[in-house]
């Protein structure tokens, strides 16, 4: 049996990786997922911390954050119901982004 939100977490991380230019290597520093449910939906809440390093990391973070709340991410078997950037920190090598997301099972 899978851990809570495990498939949704993997799908979310794949979608986040695809949102960045390969030049700006995305490092996942922390991921925490927990089950979530409402009367009509089942899913998971996710807290993700990623770091972008290298030249252009700040610009890539700007582009990502600019349209984040309206962006559409394809997650196999899940729908990304909400995603928000909760914090942004400058690092020696680039930038660190803290995200919170809600995924719900599709179907």
- Which domains does the chain show, CATH number per domain? 6-105 (3.30.2000.30)
Largest CA distance in the chain: 46
For residues 87 and 30, is the Cβ–Cβ distance under 8 A?
Answer: no
Summarised one tens digit per residue, pLDDT across range 66-77 is: 988 788 898 989
Its pTM stands at: 0.88
For residues 10 and 41, is the Cβ–Cβ distance under 8 A?
Answer: no
For residues 52 and 61, is the Cβ–Cβ distance under 8 A?
Answer: yes
Neighbouring C-alpha atoms within 13 Å toward the C-beta of 95 = 18
- Distance (Å, whole) CA 20 – CA 57: 9
Summarised one tens digit per residue, pLDDT across range 44-55 is: 999 999 999 988
């Amino acid at each position: 049996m899978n851990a809570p939100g495990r498939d949704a977490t993997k799908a979310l991380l794949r979608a986040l990786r695809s949102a960045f230019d390969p030049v700006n290597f995305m490092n996942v520093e922390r991921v925490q997922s927990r089950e979530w449910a409402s009367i009509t939906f089942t899913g998971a809440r996710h807290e993700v911390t990623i770091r972008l390093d290298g030249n252009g990391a700040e610009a890539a973070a700007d582009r990502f954050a600019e349209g984040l709340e309206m962006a559409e991410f394809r997650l196999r078997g899940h729908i990304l119901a909400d995603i928000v950037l909760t914090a942004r920190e400058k690092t020696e090598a680039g930038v660190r982004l803290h995200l919170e997301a809600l995924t719900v099972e599709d179907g």
